[in-house]
Amino acid sequence: MRAGFRALLDAEDGIEVVGEAADGRQGLELVRARVPDIALVDVQMPVMTGIETTRRIAADPALSGVRVVILTNYGLDEYVFEALRAGASGFLLKDTEPADLLQAIHVVAGGEALLSPSVTRTLIGEFVARPPDRATPPGLESLTRREREVTALAARGLTNEEIAAHMVISPFTAKTHISRAMTKLGARDRAQLVVFAYESGLVAARDRARGHAE
């Protein structure tokens, strides 16, 4: 499977595969040595899991520019949610069509979260509805009222343009609020911001059905 991915990616203009690893520890060492733009990480690997590998990449300041895309055999599973918590920018199914894989690489390389807002909301809501297994993350008090509002709207699945229309502001201003909230919370991308919104209680999972944020 790795050979297939490598052949596909190497054949694409503008993409170069700079390393390949058989387990999580080796993968982490390669990421530290090569500092790639994107790391495709299997959620289940020998020696070190994909989640732990992702967590260590995200925690290393020297690797702040590395975006992790998780590969999984399943769709909305708890491994994927834990990977997002750990710092992944999104996830792909291993049987993703080649064109979709290439598009995903370009999306993440451009600085965007791989998950669409609606998919992100569904994923987060599915698992945050369960009893929490850890303390509420800090940082909510650092957000302004406007930043809390845009974070809640993003967690409900709204795009920047939809947030702008809802708040009667420009899309640029909406994007600025999102960026500031991400900076204050240390979120690597929009997916991380949505994780925070649900885990902090800013948005409740049941709001998906009601259509509003608390």
Distance of CA 211 to the CA centre of its chain: 23
Pick the CATH number of 1-127 from 3.90.1150.10, 3.40.50.2300, 3.30.360.10, 3.40.50.720: 3.40.50.2300
- pLDDT at residue number 209: 40
Better-predicted residue by pLDDT, 119 or 161: 161
* Residue 146 to residues 7, 37, 152, 174, 187, Cα–Cα distance (Å): 46, 32, 10, 9, 17
Domain ranges of the chain: 1-127, 135-200
The pLDDT of 66-86, averaged and rounded, is 75
Asked whether the predicted pLDDT for residue 202 surpasses 50, the reply is yes
Task: Give me the architecture of the 135-200 domain, per CATH.
Answer: Orthogonal Bundle (1.10)
Cα separation of 119 and 121, whole Å? 5
CB contact set of 4 (below 8 Å; sequence gap of 6+): none
The Cα 133–Cα 135 span in angstroms is 7
In this structure, the dihedral spanned by the alpha carbons of residues 112, 118, 124 and 126, taken in order and rounded to 10 degrees, is -150
Mean pLDDT value across the chain: 80
All residues at 6 or more sequence positions from 112 whose CB lies less than 8 Å from its CB, including other chains: 189, 190
| Amino acid making up residue 36 | P
Rg (alpha carbons) of the chain, rounded to whole number: 17
Strand order in the sheet with 67-72: 38-42, 67-72, 90-93
* Residues 46-52, mean pLDDT to the nearest whole number: 91
Number of H helices, E strands in the chain: 11, 3
Of the listed ranges 40-49, 75-84, 125-134, 197-206, the least confidently predicted one is 125-134
Residue 189: per-residue pLDDT: 77
The helix or strand, by DSSP H or E, that contains position 39, with its residue range, turns out to be strand 38-42
Q: b/e map of 71-92 (b: 16 or more CB within 10 Å)?
A: bbeeeebebbbbbbbbbbbbbb
In the prediction, which pLDDT does 165 show? 93
Quick check: 166 pLDDT over 90?
A: yes
Is pLDDT above 90 for 177? yes
What's the whole-model pTM score? 0.68
Write out pLDDT tens, residues 106-149: 878 876 666 655 556 666 666 555 555 555 556 778 899 999 99
